[in-house]
Structure 1
Amino acid sequence: MYTLLALVFTYPLVLHLNTHVIGPFRGDNFEYVWKMWWVPHALFERGISPFLHPDVYYPFGYPLAYGEITPAHTFLLTPLTILVGEIAAYNIAILASVVLSGWLMYLLALRFGESPSLLAGRGLGRGKLAAAFFVGAAFAFSAYQMARIAGHLPLIDTHWLVLTLIGLDRWLQTRRLRDALLIGIGFSLSALSSWYYAFMLVLLLPVYVLAYGELRDLLPDKCTWFALVLVGVIVAVMCLPFLLPYLQIDAEGAATIPLDEAQFWAASPLDYVLPNARQPLWGAAVQRIGWPFPGDMPYEFMTVSIGWVTLLLGVIGWRRTKGGSWRALKWLMIVAFILSLGPTLTFGRLPLGLPLPARLLREILPFADGIRSWGRFSIFVMLGASLLAGTGLAVLERYRRRTAVAFGVTALLLFSSWNGAAELVSVSPRPVDLWLAEQPERFAIMQYPLEEALSGPAMLYTRYHQKPVVFGYGTYFPFLFRERHPELLDFPADDSLDLLASWDVRYVLVTINQLGNTPFTLADVDAQPRLRHVITLENEAVYELLP
């Protein structure tokens, strides 16, 4: 059923698996399609390390650690990419993650629903399957998940977070090494999907263990130390080879996010209680509340919404649950909620100036100053709210038609989570890429405006024209690029052209329809005697940089 729902929520993607990805934007989705192509291409066609692309950020080379490498997709899915191509492999990964998130949450809900402390010792009762299905649907089709499918491939793999929690909760009850093995595998795959998730788990799993309430028994138990060693070995073997490039970047001081940037992308308490901001019936009104500024509300702020159905049932469930697992889950949610608010408290994008724990963590924890979006901690709030909502739904057992009521509530949940037909974008070369590919000799390319160069699509287009580019893209790279090469901000001034010439740039591409907010006009470019207009292909004007 989760598979069918995934196909419905992403329709018509299933009809275009080889040619399109979910949009509506061309952004990070194109970046990760490129990375899924680049890794097998580097390994098996060029025979070089995929961790450094020599022809991106030319002539220096581009370490992929400037952004998410997401090895769970780019490396582990290499056989699939070779078999079906990078576009289809990307889409299959998106669909599979939604299905697996629903299924594993279903299993976790069944486990939590067996708690003898729930409903006066009766667990979820005969309606537990319907309640567990609801939990899986609430999580898999949450606002967080449905925003991530538009391009955040590393963050869509929330099923590994659920697997880790299943393993931890089982181990706390059994102390079996096979459950510790599950923790290690779940944690490692979470980390290999996104280092964000590794950072979150490092902070939140100890909270779960402490709140579970058996620390005095755990510390002297040798099974605890065997389990820690086993988990540590698994994580080291699976993750260390992919962590080393990031350690190098961090040592160079190149993995730091400015404080104001980290604060901008933090969540607000209001974001949690607003309904789905992309639902066709009420989404526009919600966005005007959550984003009272000109322009569209960024997708990142739409990911935090719990949804009113889940929120209401979750409040009921909060009051009806007790015991070690539920207590641990609630504390995990509380800590995740506080961290999701970022370094300083805001309300509805209005800064309140109150420092929060995330600000202290940026000062004292390794890698914490590299976190760009603290709001992503909200996934753990959503995970807990979904489980609690399942227990809230279980109260409907008192009704004779409990199955029909549960079906109706689940249908209401899915309707409120639905964003309409998925907007697809074609993954294909631009006419200018085909023209560049036909040009003889080896030369480098620059793109303006800078926002067009420092973007996911610009990375993908290198796959088609196969020419060196002097720019790149990733989580940290746009900050570094502007900081390292401020003269490029003065294009088309001579100092910017001098630097480009030293990098063997022959052609400068100017995206005509994106010049509205740039400090220069197309007339300024035409007036620069060192730039000769060669050709215009659709929105791309091509200029040759003269000696």
Structure 2
Amino acid sequence: MVEWRSILWVILAYTLITVVVTYPVAFRLRSALAGAPDQDALQHLWISWWTEKALLDLGTSPAQASYLYYPDGTYHPMLWVTPYPQVVALPLQLLFGQVVAYNLHLLLSFVLTGLTTYLLCYYLTRNKSASFIGGLVFAFFPNRLSHATAHLAQVVTYFFPLYALYLIKLLCCHTPSPKVGGGPGWVPERGGWREGRGGGWRNAWLCGILLALSMLVNIVHVAYFILPFTALLILYRIAVGKLREGEKGSLPSKRVKLGRLQIAPAGFAIQRPGGGLQIRREQECGRAKLTGSPLHIVAAFAFAAMLTAPFLLPFAWRSLSGQLSYLHMAGTVDYSADLSGFFTPALSHPVWGRWPSFRTWAAAVIGRGNTLESTVYLGVVALLLAGWGARRRWREARFWFILGLVALLLSLGPVLKIGGLQTSLPLPYALLQRLPFYKWGRIPGRANETIVLPLAVLASLGIASLLEPLRRLRKPSQGWLITVLSVLILFDCVVAWPFPAMEASVPGFYQRMAQEPGDFAVLDLPQWPIWLREASNRAMYYQTVHQHKIVGGYVWRLPEGLEGGMKALQELVLPPVTEDMIPRSSPEEALQALNRYHIRYVILHKEVWTAEEDAETLAALGRLLGEPFYDDQRLAAFLVPEIEIGGKEEGLLALSYGWYQVEDADGHPARWLKDEGILYVHRLTKGRYRLRFAAYPFREPRHLQVTVNGQAVADFEVANWQEFVTPSFTLAKGQNDIVFRVAEGCEVPAEVEAGSKDRRCLSVLFQRIELLAADGDSG
């Protein structure tokens, strides 16, 4: 039995361990934010802030990201497809503010994950000490601790053990316990309560609720935990049933077990002897019923589908219709687990990380990719305990052992990596990644959580086996053994200590900015290259204070059709030093455009670019905007002078990747095109235009295709230096993509010209690209 007193002691123990492992977070709830400085923790904080603002202040869906990517905004379904972490944090935010709420939720996730895993393990082992170790393994495993420094949604895992528990109860038993007293449902027994005939439906509803909550934490968990666990458990139960049907007699003498479960449990019963709440495992299912009722099982999944449909169906429909192609990113192999990584502690381990030989090895295994994703260490102590549990209680451990192996294979990704080296051996994930959910994630290593949950169960079985002889010998307390093992497990699994935390202080002018009336925006630099996310992370964090729209931003992925405007606005205030083949704004034109776009502040976030680039940027902004009104080690803030807006809107131009550096050609700036490149044009209004440019082919005539926003506009043959003018076309409000594509592709001069050392791949050389108003349109 698990009494309230025992549960309270477990909660207290996990709380104290959490405070120690995450030190100093609990002592700096308001002054510091848990997580690596300037990394993705700031994005998750922003998501919580935006959910509150969208729902309570603006009365709109958080998926409408109107305060990012100014002036266009966007619909970003990832912001509302899995709303649980931000919705559950709302009361804490309203009471204590963003930073405290984030820190508390992170800390509570460790305690609650430990507690729910404890309940699962106790259900399977009926051993409190063993269950405590199981909860410790799953709550503090290295991959989870690593993600806790940046990815809050990845560590909100406390529903998963409960879902596993109730799915086991649902699949393995629906035969009711003998009734005591009156009608169906909860029936009294000696002053307490136990499950009666309504228990099957109760388990179904609880399983459905827990499944829905688990699915609404993070879409990644659906692919890497929920689907594998659910499918494998169902298949396992079917296989067990088939085996039993083939055996002679009504029932075999041996029983298939899941933990302490024989054939199928009826679940927890709750009693109140003497007023204390107790949770105990219900008696075994009747011998004639080997699996749960199909009706109850279907009802549970249908209930979960009904609860999650408002969030998941719009997301799935957009994905299937091709609107979410930007979610499919490369890098799956980089974010897959290295087989050696399961036996390699974290690179930042506070003890092992001090040894040069270890760091060299760990850097090869972990450090070549994203260390948050590549830290997949399982822990020597947990593995030894799990191995002992599997050996001593194989029939009880069999399902969990199979689940762990399947998850391990899944986490290895599409090809095998060993010791930091990629092999050519294909793995099942190469086929699996073609399926929905797996298309949306490129991070197979996150299946580590589905390895460690069965590892925790197996470790608890191992502890239970170790403690049985001591119990038979009537030894006093085994607390000393549990204490020693707990310390060894925590030392083995720690990723970094002290736990990373960043200062939560905000420059005072942001509070003053929040009081300023009017609808204006803030341009934070750098915006480009788009992978410099430290600046956008800081900008979004400061936005939670100043509450105004910002140019750019980055959450989950960058939606299509936004990067051009971000780059164009950056180059508006920081034009290239040299002349280019596209027109650049003069200082007067730049100030006109900033006022036309209602951008009131320009903020440079330092130490993202190099120190030299920061100095050059400060000088350029000073020439355009005057001296900064705020300047410290982290940022410099400029106020945009207000001037009268006159003249026509010309639009903001920028170039994508695919163009080589500016060079001189016959006294004019020019750029070589690889085989495809984009000219971004951002406008505040719609207009009709033509495009004029000069072009010259590399070596031989080439066919140049021009499209505008996906619509074919012109097809030219470029045979020598020639000026081209396209037919008129419409430029929409917002970002427009003018794509130049060479049908024959490009060639490398060093491969086709004798004596050339040029390794660029060249197709067409461009000069003097300009937009011309068409049909008398003034822009």
TM-score class normalised by the smaller sequence: 0.7 to 0.9
- Residue from 370, 381, 387 that aligns with 1:315: 387
Deviations 1:60-109 (A, max 9, x none): 22434345764212123323322222222222211221111111111211
- Residue from 283, 291, 305 that aligns with 1:236: 305
Instruction: Indicate the residue corresponding to 2:490 in structure 1.
Output: 414
Partners of 2:168 and 2:451 lie apart in 1 by 17
Instruction: Indicate the residue corresponding to 1:124 in structure 2.
Output: none
Pair 1:492-2:575 in alignment: yes
- Cα deviation for residue 543 of structure 1 reads 5.3
- Cα deviation for residue 177 of structure 1 reads 2.8
Instruction: Indicate the residue corresponding to 1:247 in structure 2.
Output: 316
SS of the residue 1:370 aligns to? coil
- Cα deviation for residue 163 of structure 1 reads 1.0
Structure 2 unpaired stretches of 5+: 1-12, 175-199, 246-263, 265-288, 577-581, 646-779
Deviations 1:379-426 (A, max 9, x none): 111111122122223343345665433332222112333442323222
SS of the residue 2:417 aligns to? strand
- Cα deviation for residue 340 of structure 1 reads 0.8
Pair 1:193-2:212 in alignment: no
Instruction: Indicate the residue corresponding to 1:394 in structure 2.
Output: 464
Instruction: Indicate the residue corresponding to 2:145 in structure 1.
Output: 146
- Residue from 167, 190, 208 that aligns with 2:233: 208
SS of the residue 2:30 aligns to? coil
Partners of 1:58 and 1:259 lie apart in 2 by 24
Instruction: Indicate the residue corresponding to 1:122 in structure 2.
Output: none
Instruction: Indicate the residue corresponding to 1:511 in structure 2.
Output: 605
- Residue from 465, 469, 477 that aligns with 2:546: 465
Instruction: Indicate the residue corresponding to 1:121 in structure 2.
Output: none
| Residues 40 and 521 of structure 1: CA distance in aligned 2, closer, same or farther (over 3 Å) | closer
Pair 1:328-2:399 in alignment: yes
Of 80-89 and 241-250, more deviation after overlay is shown by 241-250
Structure 2 length normalisation: TM-score? 0.61
AA matched with 1:345? L
Partners of 1:327 and 1:484 lie apart in 2 by 56
Structure 1 unpaired stretches of 5+: 115-127
- CA contact under 8 A between 1:2 and 1:102: conserved in structure 2? yes
Pair 1:177-2:201 in alignment: yes
- CA contact under 8 A between 2:525 and 2:603: conserved in structure 1? yes
Partners of 2:30 and 2:584 lie apart in 1 by 40
AA matched with 2:386? G
| Residues 458 and 162 of structure 1: CA distance in aligned 2, closer, same or farther (over 3 Å) | same
AA matched with 1:202? L
SS of the residue 1:261 aligns to? coil
Partners of 2:50 and 2:425 lie apart in 1 by 44
Partners of 2:35 and 2:534 lie apart in 1 by 19
Partners of 1:292 and 1:22 lie apart in 2 by 27
Instruction: Indicate the residue corresponding to 1:25 in structure 2.
Output: 37
Instruction: Indicate the residue corresponding to 1:427 in structure 2.
Output: 504
AA matched with 1:396? L
- Cα deviation for residue 375 of structure 1 reads 0.5
Query: RMSD between aligned alpha carbons?
Result: 3.5
Deviations 1:307-358 (A, max 9, x none): 11111222222222333x6322222212211111122222233221322222
Partners of 2:313 and 2:631 lie apart in 1 by 42
Partners of 2:415 and 2:584 lie apart in 1 by 38
| Residues 101 and 255 of structure 1: CA distance in aligned 2, closer, same or farther (over 3 Å) | farther
- Cα deviation for residue 113 of structure 1 reads 1.9
SS of the residue 1:442 aligns to? coil
- CA contact under 8 A between 2:341 and 2:365: conserved in structure 1? no
Pair 1:288-2:360 in alignment: yes
- Residue from 60, 78, 83 that aligns with 1:48: 60
Larger Rg: 2
SS of the residue 1:75 aligns to? helix
| Residues 64 and 458 of structure 1: CA distance in aligned 2, closer, same or farther (over 3 Å) | farther
Query: More helix by proportion, 1 or 2?
Result: 1
| Residues 330 and 138 of structure 1: CA distance in aligned 2, closer, same or farther (over 3 Å) | same
- Cα deviation for residue 492 of structure 1 reads 3.0
- Residue from 50, 55, 76 that aligns with 1:38: 50
Pair 1:267-2:279 in alignment: no
Structure 1 length normalisation: TM-score? 0.85
Instruction: Indicate the residue corresponding to 1:347 in structure 2.
Output: 418
| Residues 466 and 410 of structure 1: CA distance in aligned 2, closer, same or farther (over 3 Å) | closer
| Residues 153 and 512 of structure 1: CA distance in aligned 2, closer, same or farther (over 3 Å) | closer
Partners of 1:358 and 1:137 lie apart in 2 by 30
The alignment-based identity, stated in percent, is: 27
SS of the residue 1:144 aligns to? helix
| Residues 154 and 69 of structure 1: CA distance in aligned 2, closer, same or farther (over 3 Å) | farther
Instruction: Indicate the residue corresponding to 2:636 in structure 1.
Output: 541
- Cα deviation for residue 156 of structure 1 reads 1.0
Query: More strand by proportion, 1 or 2?
Result: 2
| Residues 131 and 240 of structure 1: CA distance in aligned 2, closer, same or farther (over 3 Å) | same
AA matched with 2:542? Y
SS of the residue 1:99 aligns to? helix
- CA contact under 8 A between 2:602 and 2:638: conserved in structure 1? yes
| Residues 196 and 495 of structure 1: CA distance in aligned 2, closer, same or farther (over 3 Å) | farther
Instruction: Indicate the residue corresponding to 2:520 in structure 1.
Output: 443
1:3-18, aligned counterparts within 5 Å? 3-18=15-30
Instruction: Indicate the residue corresponding to 1:77 in structure 2.
Output: 89
- Cα deviation for residue 48 of structure 1 reads 2.9
